[in-house]
Amino acid sequence: MSIATRSLPRTIGAHAILLTYTVIALFPVILVVMNSFKSRAGIFGAPLTPPTPKTFDLIGYTTVIGQGDFFHYFQNSLVVTVGSLFFVLLFGAMAAFALSEYRFRGNTLMGLYLALGIMIPIRLATVAILQLMVASGLVNTLTALILVYTAQGLPLAVFILSEFMKQVSDDLKNAGRIDGLSEYTIFFRLVVPLVRPSMATVAVFTMIPIWNDLWFPLILAPSEETKTVTLGAQLFLGQFVTNWNAILAALSLAILPVLILYVIFSRQLIRGITSGAVK
């Protein structure tokens, strides 16, 4: 690091900006988690104070666990998120490999076509998707959600991953070909490990909107059997009375799994590329 970037005022300035941003970004999350541990009176009386022995109350959590089938909703959300993530990463990486590795007619056009989805929101097609799902009898199944989310996540995955795949050494792939490795082995054993950090990035970007989505679960799979957590939390949102304790508790619980997935992927992010292959 150069001397200039280490000067005291600069360091303080940089930290001040970063801290401010952290506070702003974390504020709503902390507010939700904090208030989920308070009684109803505590929430409305002093929403900004942490729970005190007087206002501390686990009523929200007991309601959530006691009422509704929350564990089941969690399971649904997890199945949908992990399933979609798996297919987005698998197909996204494979398409990216084909686009970056093989010269074929229409390669550029195909790349553009696959990336088009980044610019066109998939929700515009909701009606058509619903008709499709009704026709194929997939309404109220988790499969429907996984299919839609896979389609939603693929464009960005293909776009990002093909850029990274272009950087993987040609020599390494060619060495594999000379040693008689199949294209699949070259892809899974040589290329994928080298682009793992970028795949983790894609995973994080893909996962969070899927976990948080309310739209497609509401339209495609609103049945009790297939409810996701975000949809399940609506249970406590009444027209006349809203059970804030339960909502806040449900939301706090919903943060946990994404947090765990995020920690798993971000460790991949910082681990960096396995060095020593080339140069």
Partner 1 sequence: MGSLKIENVKKAFGPVEVLKGIDLEVTDGEFVVFVGPSGCGKSTLLRVIAGLEDSTSGRVLIDGTDVSVTPPAKRGIAMVFQTYALYPHLTVRNNMGLGLKQANTPAAEIERRIGIASSMLSLEPYLERRPAELSGGQRQRVAIGRAVVREPKLFLFDEPLSNLDAALRVNTRLEIAQLHRRLKATMIYVTHDQVEAMTLADKIVVLNAGKIEQIGGPMELYNAPANEFVAGFIGSPKMNFIDGARLGETAKTIGVRPEHLTVDPKSGAWKGTVVHAEHLGADTNLYLDCEKAGLITVRIFGVYDAEPGATLYATPEPGKTYRFGADGKVLK
Cβ proximity to partner 1: between 38 and 173 the closer is 173
Cβ proximity to partner 1: between 191 and 261 the closer is 191
Say which residue the tokens 């505590």 belong to.
Answer: 42
Cβ proximity to partner 1: between 177 and 271 the closer is 177
Q: Across the strands, what pairs with 237?
A: 242
Q: How far is the CB of 165 from partner 1 (least distance, A)?
A: 16
With contacts defined by CB under 8 A, name the span among 1-9, 107-115, 143-151, 186-194 that binds partner 1: 186-194
Looking at the chain, the number of H-run helices and the number of E-run strands are 15, 0
With contacts defined by CB under 8 A, name the span among 12-20, 65-73, 169-177, 209-217 that binds partner 1: 169-177
For residues 61 and 246, what is the distance between their CA atoms, to the nearest angstrom? 6
Q: Does 176 bind partner 1 (CB under 8 A)?
A: yes
φ/ψ of residue 119, rounded to 5: -90, -20
Q: Does 276 bind partner 1 (CB under 8 A)?
A: yes
DSSP state letters, 10-29:
HHHHHHHHHHHHHHHHHHHH
Footprint of partner 1 on 134-163 (CB under 8 A): none
Q: Does 174 bind partner 1 (CB under 8 A)?
A: yes
For residues 275 and 272, what is the distance between their CA atoms, to the nearest angstrom? 8
Note the residues at the interface with partner 1 (CB under 8 A). 169, 171-172, 174-181, 189-190, 193-194, 274-279
